[in-house]
Amino acid sequence: MLTCGLALAGCSREAPEDAIRAQVVALQTAIEQRSASDVADVLDEDFIGPQNMDRRAARQMAAVLMLRHQRIGVLTGPVDVTLQGEDRATVRTRAALTGGEGSALLPDSAQAWRIESGWRLRDGVWRITSLTWTPVLQ
């Protein structure tokens, strides 16, 4: 009986890939709801982005984008999660941001992005440690 209970408890834990995908959705929701603080919540305290952007600068960039656009939508492609051990992962996807009435792509020139992010499990929560984006079309 005890063994059965332990087995059920082990099954109730969310698989790492599912937990990361849930965080990707949380990030998308934070962007669409125009919440720079919720965007920052998905970023690790050691976050590093392009041009040595830290967590604070990423939050500020999100806030500026959100001030410029009353509506923001996120269109994503398939999300590819690659685990590296028990506490690290890489996530790859493609995305485009929409603004205005949901039809104008951000920035002003239409562009889709290849996005690669590093993730770390810290205190039971997956957060982004690194992020790069490159234009799909050049």
Per residue in 59-72, pLDDT (tens digit) is 999 999 888 878 88
Pick the CATH number of 15-135 from 3.10.450.50, 3.40.50.620, 3.30.565.10, 3.30.930.10: 3.10.450.50
- Cβ proximity of 120 and 23 under 8 Å: no
Q: What is the mean pLDDT of residues 19-38?
A: 95
Phi, psi of 89 (to 5 degrees): -155, 160
The alpha-helical segments, DSSP class H, found in 1-138 are 2-12, 16-32, 36-41, 55-68
Residue 46 CA from chain centroid, whole number: 15
Domain ranges of the chain: 15-135
Look up the pTM and report it. 0.81
CB atoms within 10 A of CB 7: 9
Phi, psi of 61 (to 5 degrees): -60, -40
Cα dist from 17 to 2, 50, 78, 92, whole Å: 28, 25, 13, 13
pLDDT of 46 higher than 70: yes
